[in-house]
Structure 1
Amino acid sequence: MPMAADDIVALIRAGIPDAEVTITDLAGDGDHYAARVVSESFRGKPRIQQQRAVYAALGGRMGGELHALQLTTAVPD
Structure 2
Amino acid sequence: MPMRAQEIEAMIVAAIPDARVEITDLAGDGDHYAARVEAESFRGMSRVAQQRAVYAALGGRMGGVLHALQLTTVVPN
The alpha carbon displacement at 1:2 in A equals: 0.3
For these two proteins, the number of residue pairs brought into alignment is: 77
**Unmatched tracts of structure 2, length 5 or more:** none
Calculate percent identity across the aligned residue pairs.
77
Which aligned pairs between 1:52-63 and structure 2 lie closer than 5 A?
52-63=52-63
What is the distance in 2 between the residues matched to 1:3 and 1:34?
13
**Unmatched tracts of structure 1, length 5 or more:** none
Which whole-Å deviations, capped at 9, do the CAs of 1:23-76 have from their partners, x for residues lacking one? 000001110000000000100111000000000000000011100000000001
TM-score, normalised to structure 2, is: 0.98
- Map of 1:66 onto structure 2: 66
TM-score, normalised to structure 1, is: 0.98
Secondary structure at the aligned position of 1:63 is classed as coil
Q: Which amino acid aligns with 2:46?
A: P
- Extract structure 1 runs of 4+ deviating beyond 2 A: none
